[in-house]
Amino acid sequence: MVLLCLGGAACGQLSDDFYDDSCPKLESIVQARVAAAMKAELRMGASLLRLHFHDCFVNGCDGSILLDGAESEKLAAPNLNSVRGYEVIDAIKADLEKACPGLVSCADVVALAAKYGVLLSGGPDYDVLLGRRDGLVANQTLANNNLPSPFDNITVIIQRFKDVGLNTTDVTAALDAGSADAFDNHYFKNLLAKKGLLSSDQGLVSSPDGAAATRALVQAYSYNSQRFLCDFGDAMVRMGNIAPLTGSAGQIRKKCSAVN
């Protein structure tokens, strides 16, 4: 279901076959590069998915997160040493500039890489490492405020960071302790059991001030995995339609890290 949702959709001026004639090798080039990156590190599928999210939620899907520069999104505090996968996008873009120069936008490269990050993972039917988070960020509320924790797995994570020094981001903890290597709805089950890794997510579900609508969705997804998978796919398609530049707007960059 999620594969069908991600596989193709057209909205407004957007079309999933836009490059069929002008750059027929586009899909195979993206797929090959993403497959190679995920073979080297399975986690890269999740990173490419997140890269697409961070791009689209700042002034729309325009590839701006890929730009270098002192004031760039790439170096912004929420993204620095967190968002990754830039080298995969650069490799795809370099291949495309050889195959069909000046035709494929960087925003489309990011969107397609995210799509294949999910498809090459096998979607909902096969194992995929979709979520890990550095424990320092995951537990920043506890670390900064010395708050007690309702989560069973927090003390173990904190100790791991004490062992190597709290300033490191090299040690990661699975977002989903129950099925860390599967793309499924177990994360929502963890939240209902008060075992969520991220205190922000857990607070939305468990605190008296948490939104009833949020709790209702967590409950629905924890009980119905197919609903979660289909809603996820639909959300990805809709996210890709957030204020994209079309027609003569913007530019097709030769390198995604710099304007022409």
- Each residue's pLDDT tens digit, 143-165: 443 434 444 455 555 555 555 55
Q: In the predicted model, is pLDDT for residue 97 greater than 90? A: yes
More reliable by pLDDT, 211 or 259: 259
| Domains identified in the chain and CATH numbers | 16-125 (1.10.520.10), 132-174+186-223 (no CATH)
pLDDT, greater one: 81 or 19: 19
> What average pLDDT does range 194-218 have in this prediction?
76
Looking at mean pLDDT, say which of 60-69, 72-81, 119-128 comes out highest.
60-69
Q: Measure CA 85 to chain center.
A: 10
The answer to whether the annotation marks 73 as part of a ligand binding site is yes
Report whether 176 belongs to an annotated binding site: yes
C-beta atoms surrounding 3 within 10 Å? 15
CB 134 within 8 A of CB 50: no
Please indicate if the annotation marks 95 as binding a ligand. Answer: no
To the question of whether residue 196 is assigned a binding role by annotation, the answer is no
**Stated pTM of the model:** 0.71
Would the annotation count 150 as a binding residue?
no
User: What pLDDT does 73 receive?
Assistant: 86
**52-63: average pLDDT:** 88
| Calpha distance 4→229 (Å, rounded) | 10
Give me the active site residues, please. Answer: 54
Structure-model confidence comparison of residues 119 and 237, the more confident one = 237
Indicate if the pLDDT at residue 166 is higher than 70.
no
Q: Which long-range contacts (CB under 8 A, 24 or more apart) does 15-22 make?
A: 19/100, 19/103, 19/104, 19/108, 22/100, 22/103
64 is in an annotated binding site: yes
